[in-house]
Structures are given as C-alpha cells and as structure tokens.
Amino acid sequence: MTLLPARRLLLVHAHPDDESINNGVTMARYAAEGALVTLVTCTLGEEGEVIPADLAHLAPDRDDTLGPHRVGELAAAMRALGVTDHRFLGGAGRYRDSGMMGAPQNDRPNAFWQADLDEAAAHLVAVIREVRPQVLVTYDPNGGYGHPDHIQAHRVAMRAAELAAQAGFRPDLGPAYAIGKIYWNCNPRSDVEDGLARLHAAGHAFPGIASADDVPGVVPDADVTATITGSEAYTAAKTEAMRAHYTQIVVDGPFFALSNDLGQPLFRTEHYQLVHGFSGAAEGAREDDLFAGVDGTATREHGARIEEVAE
C-alpha cells in the first residue's frame, strides 16, 4: 500500500494552461503546504492558436505539433507551481482538442467532444481511486465559457466522481472511493469588474481589453463559497506558470491576454463554488481553505450541507 499525503486535491482541466489561469495560486499553495496536488488534463490543446510568430509552424493546419509542444509548456508550468503529479486523461494524446464549438474539429472521432462519457470517466475513476482526493475542482456545466472540451471535462469529472464511489463499477480499478467535496471554478462579477477597471486605468501593451462577458465563469458574488487569496510567492508562481504557456498567453504585469489580444486581469485571488459536500465555514461565510471540514480540523457541524446541484 502506498502512503499518501494527508490532504489530496484533484483538478480536472480541458487543455494545458487552464489549470494555471484558473487555479495557479491554489495549486501553488497546496503543493507548498505538502498536499498531494494531482492535475488531470483531458487533451493536449492541439487546436489552440499560436501567439508567437516564430512558432506559427506548430499550428494544426501546418506541422500539427502544437500538442507535443504544449506537453512541455505544461511540464514547465507544473515546475513553477511545485506540482509533481500531472497526467493526461487516458494517457497523452488519447483525446484530441475539439476546437471551438461548431468547428469541424468537433466531429473528429478522437475529439474529446466525441468521447464516450463512461469510457472517459473510467480513466478518471482509476486516478480517483489511486490518489483518493478529498477535494475535486473542475468547471461548471457550461465549462466556464462554452468550449466543448471544457463542457466535456465537467461532465467527465462529475461522472467519474459518481462512478468512483460505486463499489460495483469496475472493481479492477481499485476500491470504491467517495470524494468529500466538489468545487466549480468561478469568478465573482465584482472582482471581474474591479480588475477590468484597473486594466482600463493602467498602462498596458494589449491591443484591446476584455469585457466581463469575455471572462469565463462569471457568477453573482453571492454564489461564491470559497476564496483562496494568493501570497506574493503564490502569485509569482502562478504568473510564472502562465508565462510557461507562451504559445497561448502573453502576461503583462498583473494582466494577461490570450490569442484574442484582449487584456484581462491575472487574478491573485481565486474563487470556487462548493457543489457537493459540507462547507467548513460558518453559515453564510466563505471558506478560505478547500479542505475545511474534510481533514478532521474544521467544524463540520457548523457547515451547511450543500446538495448536489442538478444540471
């Protein structure tokens, strides 16, 4: 039997770079605190747009080598965050980036969007039963912004959490295990609007500025149940991790842009919505630790029971 760290966090993402943008501070913090941080990325991001002109040849309509290149970017990002356990769903290259919603790439047989849900979930069940995470982080049902791979990552993560707990499902993948808490990534509207206001006020190098509608996972502030605030060190690690994804992201101080050239805030505070399990915070208060209430240290009896959110 393998000994596991006491606290274990699993994150499920669609493409290399999503983890650093959404959860870089959170991953850096829990890795530094000695938790096991496991990242499962579902595709290699083969259909991403390439920002640096001298790497344009990597693009899918030219050499089609962006996927393997991004494996290296992800590895560098994980070094920046101090995360050592990162994997691709079903192994690198098992599922291909599906491209934007409606693109012909959606229909390729190996596109993640075409994956059989239970087959894809079974790959994740194996990981869940191996690392036995108390906390799972993934996207909301719209994947934050409607990208097919983000929607599919949400579906696979939620289905795998359900199947992993069923003793009758694939006993060959290990003993049944129920994840204590599941969170969806989110961005409270007031933070997004404040960040965009700072960007408008600051000097910056971007051709344009995003609107709140361009930022994924924006929710009313009241929907946020957990907030992880980055120290200087964790914010620096997140920034370095985002810079490691240099085919996809341009970072300028506390701001960044994707290939659409629209500047947006690089958030040093990350937010979550608890959708399964007990909150470790007093009723009405936000948690400041995703493990609150699951590791024997927090006040489970004071936490409100969060019911499974129906899709």
Nearer to Zn ion, 21 or 36 (CB): 21
Q: Which of 15, 96, 123, 268 binds Zn ion (CB under 5 A)?
A: 15
CB of 136 to Zn ion, least distance (A): 18
Strands (E), 230-287: 250-252, 255-257, 262-265, 269-278
Residue whose C-beta lies closest to Zn ion: 15
Return d(Cα 78, Cα 11) in angstroms, integer. Answer: 13
Q: For residue 287, what is the DSSP state? A: B
Is 150 marked as binding a ligand?
yes
Helices 232-244, 18-32: axis angle to 10 degrees equals: 140
Q: Strand, coil or helix: what is 276?
A: strand
Q: Are 121 and 152 in contact (CB under 8 A)?
A: no
CB of 287 to Zn ion, least distance (A): 26
CB of 16 to Zn ion, least distance (A): 8
In order of 14, 70, 86, 130, 311, the CA distances from 95 in angstroms are 10, 14, 16, 21, 24
Q: Which stretch binds Zn ion (CB under 5 A): 12-20, 23-31, 156-164, 186-194?
A: 12-20
Q: Which stretch binds Zn ion (CB under 5 A): 7-15, 117-125, 268-276, 281-289?
A: 7-15
Q: Which of 9, 11, 14, 274 binds Zn ion (CB under 5 A)?
A: 14
Is 204 marked as binding a ligand?
no
Is 18 marked as binding a ligand?
yes
Return d(Cα 133, Cα 176) in angstroms, integer. Answer: 12
Q: Which stretch binds Zn ion (CB under 5 A): 6-14, 75-83, 220-228, 278-286?
A: 6-14
Tell me the chain's radius of gyration from C-alpha atoms.
Answer: 19
Residues in contact with Zn ion, shown as a per-residue x/- string from 18 to 47 under the rule CB under 5 A: x-----------------------------
Nearer to Zn ion, 44 or 122 (CB): 44
Burial class (CB in 10 A: 0-12, 13-18, 19+), 306: middle
Query: What residues form the annotated binding site for Zn(2+)?
Result: 15, 18, 150
Query: What residues form the annotated binding site?
Result: 15, 18, 150
Residues that bind Zn ion (CB under 5 A): 14-15, 18
